[in-house]
Structure 1
Amino acid sequence: MTRFFPAFLFLALFTLSLGLAGSIAQAQQATSASLEHSAEPHASAFSAALKANAAHIIKGSVKTAQSVIDAIQETGSPAADMFLDLWQNKDVWYRKKDKALFTVKKKDSKTYTLFDPESGDPVGTASKKEIKQIKPNSGVRAMVGAALVANQLVSEDVELRKASLDSLARDPKPSHLLPLRRAVSRETDEGLKRSMIRLERLLTTQYDKDEKARVAAIRSFASDLGLDVRARLNPILASRIVVEKTEREDEGTARRVYAGSDEHLSVTQAYDMLVAKGWASADISPDQKYDTLVANIKDGQVGGLPVASLNEPEARHTAYKALVEAGLAPHDPSDEEVAAAVANAAFYAVYDEPSEAVIKATQETLASIETRVSLSEFADLFLDGLSLASIFFLAAIGLAITFGVMGVINMAHGEFIMMGAYTGYLVQQYITNYTLSIIVAIPAAFVVTFAAGVALERLVIRHLYHRPLETLLATFGVSIALQQLAKNIFGTQARPLTSPEWLDGALVINDVISISWIRVAIFALSLIFFAMLWFILNRTRLGLETRAVTQNPRMAASMGINPNKINMLTFGLGSGIAGIAGVAIGLFAKVTSELGSDYIVQSFMTVVVGGVGNIWGTLAGAAMIGFLQKGIEWFNPSNTLAAQTFMIIFIIIFIQFRPRGIIALKGRAAGD
């Protein structure tokens, strides 16, 4: 026995060492698995959630969908929202044998590649028979969508919250109301919070179950002119027309309509409703009468009349009436009978909305909005007229000075406007900074057109003083020549005169009132030029001499003033201002050789109506013509030419009663 003891001891120690080694290996494996689990907590939790809820995901019941959604989102995995989005869009599949969930991509005609829903890595392939697409119903998809919205609305990323709110606003659903309210209480960005609150009130108007909450939300929009508000409130007043034999006692959820007076109910439609109810006999069409007459021909007669005599409508009517009296044809109600039947019935537009309080609040709110919209449309029309008046003022002020001082009808004034616009275009070819280019273009256009005006006065006009017809023809010829010269240099294609970025867009006051920043800038420029010209004419020596020549050129000459020099400088000044107007107009109009011709008629009308030679008169004339044209266009916005025609007719009539204009100027300009 003692001989074998060492051997037993060796075997025992060997067995013990093997056991210890196995235990250590198992411990290392467990530790390794534990470390792996702690390194990827989301992956295992997400996978476990999918596996535990696979049956409910595949079945897609509304009863279990919310618990599945909560379980997936509680994992905190970045893949949770991605999976919910795939589930909502029917992009999740399952393997039939083990109910495992995948996303798939077609590999060939018979094989699909399977992808892990969390990592997106390929995990194998399967045939079409082995897998099946999960198609959740609309109710489940709505719940998933609401969950996604709720999650995104409380995201840490403010841009994601904004994008989610914009997406919700485009396609809101009743299920979005509760998540939106929760998000409002947690929102920290003030601007975004105001948007959330407004959208929450919009959804409340339609989807809230509490009548008082809906009424309060509806009334809160009484001063809101947003199109989305009207888009939400108008469907609340959706109605269907019904007919009743007697008048309703309670009309809270319906309104009385009258056939023929209401645009939604004609007399014919109303009578058809009575026929459908069985309360009136059907109206017989001419074709039905004809078929009845043919069917009742006997021995060459119908209703006691020979067939040959039925060529006339009156004879056919008599024959048909005889058939009715004989009981062989249905009665055809006369127009008087139709009108009487309709008048004796009560027609109502019954609202789809069952709550009388909600209907009343909606009607009052929409009425308040419509009143404000009308006022805003008037204000918008006023701003459009003011903008157009400022453009006409800029275009005409130079002409007013030259015409008032010199009595010259300058038909080439529009071409100075065109030259100013082209000067701005050329400046922008060398100065790419648009703000700086406009700053440079304004004085450059003034210099160019001032020089052109002086040249025109010295070379042509000074030889034609006191000969208005020859002056008109000569400047008209110059106008044509300048247009052709511009075509030869720049071509017939419109050239761009680009405005600075800070002039892009519009000044938006509300959803009805807006005006482009370019128009605002032109209005400001008009005020600046008005003030500048007033100062020049009333506070400088040039202005004093100009007014002296305007009032009495001979007396001015006797006082040492050179009328020829004043005429030259005045004509150059008027032409230079036209060039600046060309830069301003070119920012929003097409710069072509015909640019000036589009404004020459309005410029002359502005000068004549306002009173020649007077900047206050020019201002009044520009305002009158601008507002008048916009007012006429408001009645017929699709026909601008008709508006201009009516405006010219009005001005002709106006001049008959006030030939010297709104503000007449004494002196040569007035014809004294």
Structure 2
Amino acid sequence: MLVQPGQAEPGRAAQVLSDNQALVEKASRQTIEPVIAALAASEDPMAQAVLEAWSDKRLGQRKADGSFVLLAPDAAGYALTDIATGESLGTAPKSEIDELKPNSGVRGLIGAALVQFQLMDADPAKRRAALDALARDGNASHLAPLRAAIAAEKDPEIKAAKERLERLLTLRFDADPQARIAAIDSFGADLGLDLRGALNPLVATKQVAVTEVPEGANVARTLRPGKDLPREAAYDLLVTAGLAPARLTISDQRASLLAHVDNGKIAGIPLAEMDNQATRDAAYTALETAGLAPSAATEDEVTAALAAHKFLDTYAEPDAAVTDAARAALKRIDRKVGLMQFADLALDALSLASIYFLAAIGLAITFGVMRVINMAHGEFIMMGAYTGYVVQQYISNYTVSILVALPLAFAVTFAAGVAMERLVIRHLYHRPLETLLATFGISIALQQLAKNIFGTQARPLTSPAWLDGALTFNDVVSISYIRIAIFVLGLIFLGLFLFIMKKTRLGLEVRAVTQNPKMAASMGINPDRINMLTFGLGSGIAGIAGVAIGLFAKVTSELGSDYIVQSFMTVVVGGVGNIWGALAGATLIGFLQKGIEFFNPSNTLAAQTYMIVFIIIFIQFRPRGIIALKGRAAGD
């Protein structure tokens, strides 16, 4: 006896189990669902405990009388609880109890039935877990308990989740098509993956073959064999639907014909006439009609069968109004997804541009003021990253370590830059080829030194916990907090550089040397000192960039090599020696690279190649860059 809703009575759950003892003892997913549904609908106070115990393998049966009991581990074996009353029945050894062990399919049905109890549970965690279970495996039977649970929900967040899930289940399972359409329209252009997951089955189609289009069929389109559908696939649909025999193969036809040769003839047709496929097909058809060969379709019969039937793409959803609403909703979502993908691409490009700007800002300073092609600039970035790694070996607090590493990296690379300028660069002014070769040699030497000190394996530079994760706007658009921090750092350095250049004596002297070094020297400015400080400043900024880049990239001796090419491209495209040019160049290259990767996402090397080709073409038309520098650099 299966209990109907509204028959609340203590002991009803025990009665359901007793009346369906055989099904419970040998439970399977195919047979046990009515019993589980009856337990859930019994309104017995013990129903939830019985279902939970059954799912957890804590439901047993006494061998002596076959009665069902709840089990709990005990020193004597099991502590027993009466299902009808909830009272203790004492203990029993394990030998006297048959433990019911439902398989995964049965446990899945029990879990779905338990949802209606869990939706009203006092524990918010259990209510959220019930919603997650419904989202994974909800069906029409869950709509009523879910709707009842919404009114009683006090937690605003959980209530909103229940209301959203109710609309998702409504658009899939409600018996009223208008209610489903209203639920679909209520989402608008919502980008939730759960919504798309619910809508896609409503517009899913399958190919069918029919003699006549069934009345009321929800047809997506009519298929034409040989055009919309390959002939072979179309005939396979006929065979699958039982509307035509299997296709006759050449080998089977040959075997059947040879088996029925009689006095030089097959089915009355002389062998001499069997030199073409049409005659062989006619002979086989005659044998087939006489019952001497198995039923199979020759090529002419295949053609006739295809012409006699219709082939359709039909929606799995029978209601055309619902599929129309679902398709319209998916189109709205696709349009919004396109816009969001563009926004996400723009954020990626902006974050990449900020990285390139940080990496190139120091190079822009030294190249613009001193006209020095510093091939070791990438190694200053690498030195800054390793400085951050070393600091973290002594300071375990990652936030403090980063705050210490940033100024320390500046100091280390500033000192290294000054030393390099004093020992090498100043002897090679106005000799660009020798400068390039010398700095390239220094680059190799610094890489090898880093390998000797730190080894060849990548070293971790760990970001603080508050930089973990990403800022998520929706299911499409997000950006990591580390990249946001780098973007902010780039803005800080842009502001700091502009302050130094516009508001300090050093900035005034740098601008003077940049515009006209001879006139600056005649005014008492020491160009040699300015060159040294400028080179040190550019190197120090590269060190800070190394700390920032090391937070998301692998810290190795080759770290700088990965950014030196982009740094030079940024400076050349933007305009040498100009901070605004470096910003413009970084923005252009960042957006260009991400744009190319968007159209060719599987090959980033090709994207970089196309980018370099574009830049080569660009500088042919604008050799001084986007923002050309005035003064010495412009005249050289």
Residue 347 of structure 1 aligns to a residue in which SS?
Answer: strand
From 49, 74, 81, the equivalent of 2:45 is: 74
Deviation at 1:350, TM superposition (A): 1.0
2:411 is aligned with 1:447: yes
Does the CA contact (< 8 Å) of 1:56 and 1:68 recur in 2?
A: no
Does the CA contact (< 8 Å) of 1:389 and 1:625 recur in 2?
A: yes
Residue 74 of structure 1 aligns to a residue in which SS?
Answer: coil
Q: Hey, what's the Cα distance between the residues in 1 that align with 2:578 and 2:105?
A: 73
Q: Hey, what's the Cα distance between the residues in 1 that align with 2:498 and 2:512?
A: 15
From 25, 50, 66, the equivalent of 1:83 is: 50
* Per-residue CA distance 1:19-52 (angstroms, 9 max, x = gap): xxxxxxxxxxxxxxxxxxxxxxxxxx99966666
Matches within 5 A, 1:414-493: 414-493=378-457
Deviation at 1:212, TM superposition (A): 1.6
Q: Hey, what's the Cα distance between the residues in 2 that align with 1:305 and 1:495?
A: 82
From 46, 51, 58, the equivalent of 2:21 is: 58
CA distance 1:460–1:298, shift in 2 (3 Å): farther
Match of 1:124 in 2: 92
Q: Hey, what's the Cα distance between the residues in 2 that align with 1:555 and 1:667?
A: 12
Q: TM-score, normalised by structure 1?
A: 0.80
Match of 1:394 in 2: 358
Match of 1:207 in 2: 173
Q: Hey, what's the Cα distance between the residues in 2 that align with 1:377 and 1:268?
A: 39
Deviation at 1:388, TM superposition (A): 0.7
Match of 1:311 in 2: none
Q: Hey, what's the Cα distance between the residues in 1 that align with 2:205 and 2:64?
A: 54
Q: Hey, what's the Cα distance between the residues in 2 that align with 1:150 and 1:522?
A: 48
Match of 1:616 in 2: 580
CA distance 1:220–1:454, shift in 2 (3 Å): same
Q: Hey, what's the Cα distance between the residues in 2 that align with 1:524 and 1:401?
A: 20
From 647, 653, 660, the equivalent of 2:624 is: 660
CA distance 1:485–1:90, shift in 2 (3 Å): closer
- 1:206 counterpart letter in structure 2: R
Match of 2:504 in 1: 540
Match of 1:165 in 2: 131
Q: Hey, what's the Cα distance between the residues in 2 that align with 1:540 and 1:258?
A: 78
Deviation at 1:258, TM superposition (A): 5.0
2:188 is aligned with 1:188: no
CA distance 1:301–1:551, shift in 2 (3 Å): farther
Match of 1:6 in 2: none
Deviation at 1:58, TM superposition (A): 3.0
Q: TM-score, normalised by structure 2?
A: 0.84
CA distance 1:246–1:646, shift in 2 (3 Å): farther
Q: Hey, what's the Cα distance between the residues in 1 that align with 2:571 and 2:174?
A: 61
Deviation at 1:529, TM superposition (A): 1.2
2:58 is aligned with 1:94: no
Match of 2:143 in 1: 177
CA distance 1:458–1:257, shift in 2 (3 Å): farther
Does the CA contact (< 8 Å) of 2:16 and 2:35 recur in 1?
A: no
Aligned length: 606
Q: Hey, what's the Cα distance between the residues in 1 that align with 2:45 and 2:512?
A: 89
From 493, 498, 515, the equivalent of 2:462 is: 498
Match of 1:22 in 2: none
Deviation at 1:626, TM superposition (A): 0.9
Match of 1:406 in 2: 370
Q: How high is the sequence identity, in percent, across the aligned residues?
A: 58
Unaligned runs of 5+ in 1: 1-44, 307-315
CA distance 1:338–1:472, shift in 2 (3 Å): farther
Does the CA contact (< 8 Å) of 1:411 and 1:476 recur in 2?
A: yes
Instruction: State the structure with more CA Rg.
Output: 1
- 1:446 counterpart letter in structure 2: F
Does the CA contact (< 8 Å) of 2:500 and 2:506 recur in 1?
A: yes
Does the CA contact (< 8 Å) of 1:112 and 1:125 recur in 2?
A: yes
Deviation at 1:320, TM superposition (A): 3.8
RMSD across aligned positions (CA): 3.9
From 536, 545, 555, the equivalent of 1:591 is: 555
Q: Hey, what's the Cα distance between the residues in 2 that align with 1:624 and 1:350?
A: 48
CA distance 1:226–1:141, shift in 2 (3 Å): closer
Q: Hey, what's the Cα distance between the residues in 2 that align with 1:305 and 1:101?
A: 78
2:340 is aligned with 1:379: no
CA distance 1:626–1:209, shift in 2 (3 Å): same
Deviation at 1:479, TM superposition (A): 0.7
CA distance 1:494–1:260, shift in 2 (3 Å): farther
Q: Hey, what's the Cα distance between the residues in 2 that align with 1:573 and 1:140?
A: 67
Deviation at 1:280, TM superposition (A): 8.7
Deviation at 1:86, TM superposition (A): 2.1
- 2:166 counterpart letter in structure 1: E
- 2:123 counterpart letter in structure 1: D
Matches within 5 A, 1:205-604: 205-243=171-209, 252-258=218-224, 265-273=229-237, 285=249, 287=251, 319-321=276-278, 323-324=280-281, 333=299, 346-604=310-568
Q: Hey, what's the Cα distance between the residues in 1 that align with 2:104 and 2:48?
A: 19
Q: Hey, what's the Cα distance between the residues in 2 that align with 1:141 and 1:325?
A: 57
* Per-residue CA distance 1:626-668 (angstroms, 9 max, x = gap): 1111111112222211211121122112222222212221333
Q: Hey, what's the Cα distance between the residues in 2 that align with 1:405 and 1:317?
A: 92
Does the CA contact (< 8 Å) of 2:16 and 2:38 recur in 1?
A: no
CA distance 1:540–1:295, shift in 2 (3 Å): farther
Q: Hey, what's the Cα distance between the residues in 2 that align with 1:296 and 1:654?
A: 79
- 1:426 counterpart letter in structure 2: V
CA distance 1:106–1:548, shift in 2 (3 Å): closer
Worse overlay, 453-462 or 539-548: 539-548
